[in-house]
Amino acid sequence: MSGADARRPLIAGNWKMYKTVAEAESFVQSLLPRIAGRAGIDVGICPPFPALAAIVDSTRGSSVGVYAQNMHQEPEGAFTGEVSAPMLAELGVQGTILGHSERREQFGESDRALQLKLPAALQAGLEPILCVGETEEERERGDTERKLRHQVQEDLTRVEDARLSEVVIAYEPIWAIGSGKVATAEQAQEAIAFIRALVADRSRVAAERTRILYGGSVKAENAQELLALPDVDGALVGGASLDADTFAAIVAAAP
């Protein structure tokens, strides 16, 4: 197996700050029968912290993995309001989103912190989903590749080559998030192939295996075209992941 064949598609739903535990439970009860027949694909849901334990429990034995949306780089310490990788791993959480643009823009998440968070997640047995992407202004001034190069190179600095392919990367152009303005197939393929080439600069073997997702206004209507692109290994879905029917339709659209 090589290239895209070696990469199992991942469709993950980032719920952001939506759904109480009760709402999350009812989503899972509705989702599981809708995706039961779907083989050869990984499905992830990323609920807010309070719902993690309950959802790990109610998805046990299914194809759904549960991911957090953030974590602190230290295993423990005087960091009020933070949650560590070993605490998430103890719950049976499979991984965590790291470096989402909302955290970078609104909560001061830095490349420096991400350099520490990525190895800390791997060390605890968690699969990180590292988000990268350019603003509209950066795209317009032709700085997309420069931004992606900076984020991918900086954030992965402390991940050893042998573990690079355990990091999932999500290309999320900031202008496409929550805006209904989805990247064209050409833009998504081009940016994701570029990210793969950046990983290949570190390790060719890892680049063949690294799953790179597209995120930003993925809907049931546009999922099929995006997911069929050669370098796109899945999707990180925001708004459209909040409804079980819609999310199941996106899962069904994966090749």
- Catalytically active residues are 100, 172
Please identify, using beta-carbon distances, which residue of 17 and 78 lies nearer to ligand 13P: 17
Which position among 10, 32, 132, 236 is part of the footprint of ligand 13P (CB under 6 A)? Answer: 236
Amino acid at 221: E
Q: Applying CB under 6 A, which part among 83-91, 103-111, 195-203, 210-218 lies near ligand 13P?
A: 210-218
By CB under 6 A, residue 239 contacts ligand 13P: yes
Q: Applying CB under 6 A, which part among 19-27, 35-43, 112-120, 237-245 lies near ligand 13P?
A: 237-245
Residue 139 and residue 173 in contact, taking contact as beta carbons nearer than 8 Å:
yes
By CB under 6 A, residue 234 contacts ligand 13P: no
d(CA 195, CA 191): 6
Chain positions 96 to 115 lying near ligand 13P, rule: CB under 6 A, are 100
Site size toward ligand 13P (CB under 6 A) is 14
Neighbours of 80 (CB within 10 A): 5
Containing 10, the helix (H) or strand (E) segment is: strand 10-14
Chain positions 211 to 230 lying near ligand 13P, rule: CB under 6 A, are 215-218
Q: Phi and psi for 247 in degrees, rounded to 5?
A: -65, -40
By CB under 6 A, residue 44 contacts ligand 13P: no
Please identify, using beta-carbon distances, which residue of 84 and 217 lies nearer to ligand 13P: 217
d(CA 27, CA 29): 6
Q: How far is CA 70 from the centre of its chain?
A: 11
d(CA 106, CA 125): 28
Structure tokens at 111: 């490349």
Amino acid at 182: V
By CB under 6 A, residue 14 contacts ligand 13P: yes
Please identify, using beta-carbon distances, which residue of 206 and 251 lies nearer to ligand 13P: 251
Q: Applying CB under 6 A, which part among 106-114, 115-123, 222-230, 231-239 lies near ligand 13P?
A: 231-239
Cα distances from 231 to residues 27, 72, 142, 186, in angstroms, run 30, 30, 22, 11
By CB under 6 A, residue 178 contacts ligand 13P: yes
Taking residues 130 to 169 in sequence order and writing x for each that binds ligand 13P by CB under 6 A, - otherwise, the string is ----------------------------------------
- Residue 240 DSSP one-character state: G
Closest among 133, 68, 140, 137 to 101, alpha carbons compared: 133
- Binding residues (CB under 6 A) for ligand 13P: these are 14, 100, 172, 177-178, 215-218, 236-240
